[in-house]
């Protein structure tokens, strides 16, 4: 059997369409589209790099990627993704954001899947996508803090890579700076200049995003995840997770593990 032909998104003639994808683990290539993209992860989580940041798109959350923005996706676990493509004239928001999905947003995104890339849109579909584009811009303004800024200099890139690789350990800024060939003072200055964030702030956010990603995996256990992201106390992990996401690790795990109807 011949492999499926990859869709050339920018060759689609419709002003808008929906697309369902089942993504396997791997790293995608850098690319951009003439369409805005509204992504919804019904199951699984993925990493999105765009506009100088790395975002986590967790299950049952959505992302907006403006038309023409260079981006790529990395997948560490199977993901069910639903994407709505909207021509740039349907919306003006030219940024990348991750945001919460209301029941209305979820149902509108899923309903969009009835109009694929093939076949002309009727008047009903055109009006529907125009309304969705307007609403999506409004939803995306309520962004979630699920992004990490990317370093610009090689030295800070090395420091952040070391930080990400050792989240399970009791990391000390001295060790990170030494590994990157920087003084602690220079590392602090680079973080402020390039990330607009302290190293300790970056570490805290990186641990929470890794925890969210791990908890979304089938069979994940809260205690194991807490240890794997550097917490010795389950209570401390639960407090930090609640402050970051607005829900306890247990409730988050239960929510993302529940299979939505008609995903």
Q: In this predicted model, what pLDDT tens digit does every residue of 151-181 receive, in sequence order?
A: 999 999 999 999 999 999 999 999 999 999 9
Distances (CA, A) of 117 to 17, 19, 62, 182: 5, 8, 21, 51
CB 34 within 8 A of CB 66: no
Laid out side by side, the sheet with 53-57 consists of 26-27, 71-75, 46-50, 53-57, 147-149
d(CA 35, CA 71): 13
d(CA 60, CA 100): 8
Mean pLDDT computed over 30-48: 95
Each residue's pLDDT tens digit, 238-252: 999 999 999 999 999
Domain with CATH 2.60.120.280 in the chain: 9-140
CATH architecture of 151-257: Orthogonal Bundle (1.10)
User: Over 60: is that where the pLDDT of 4 sits?
Assistant: no
| The CATH number fitting domain 9-140, selected from 2.60.120.280, 1.10.1660.10, 2.60.40.1930, 2.60.40.1120 | 2.60.120.280
The pTM for the full model equals 0.90
As a whole-number percent, the residues of the chain with pLDDT over 90 amount to 91
**pLDDT category of residue 98 using cuts at 50, 70 and 90:** very high
Angle, CA 28 vertex, CA 27 and CA 32 arms, to 5°? 150
Tell me the three state secondary structure of residue 180.
coil
């Amino acid at each position: 059997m011949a492999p499926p032909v990859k869709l050339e998104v920018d060759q689609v003639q419709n002003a808008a369409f929906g697309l369902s994808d089942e993504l396997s683990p791997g790293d995608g290539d850098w690319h951009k589209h003439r369409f805005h993209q509204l992504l919804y992860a019904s199951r699984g989580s993925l990493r999105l790099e765009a506009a100088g940041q790395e975002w986590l798109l967790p299950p049952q959350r959505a992302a907006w990627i403006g038309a023409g923005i260079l981006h790529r996706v990395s997948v560490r676990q199977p993901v069910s993704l639903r994407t709505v493509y909207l021509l740039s004239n349907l919306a003006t928001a030219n940024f990348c954001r991750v945001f919460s999905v209301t029941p209305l947003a979820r149902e509108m995104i899923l309903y969009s899947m009835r109009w694929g890339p093939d076949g002309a849109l009727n008047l009903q579909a055109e009006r529907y996508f125009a309304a969705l584009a307007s609403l999506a811009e409004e939803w995306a303004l309520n962004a979630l803090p699920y992004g990490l800024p990317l370093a610009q200099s090689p030295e800070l890139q090395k420091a952040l890579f070391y930080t990400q690789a050792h989240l399970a350990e009791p990391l000390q800024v001295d060790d990170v700076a030494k590994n990157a060939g920087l003084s602690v003072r220079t590392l602090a200055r680079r973080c402020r200049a390039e990330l607009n964030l302290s190293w300790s702030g970056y570490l805290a956010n990186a641990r929470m995003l890794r925890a969210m990603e791990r908890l979304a995996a089938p069979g994940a256990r809260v205690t194991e995840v807490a240890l794997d992201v550097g917490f010795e106390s389950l209570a401390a992990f639960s407090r930090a997770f609640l402050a970051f996401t607005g829900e306890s690790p247990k409730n988050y795990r239960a929510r993302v593990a529940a299979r939505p109807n008609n995903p």
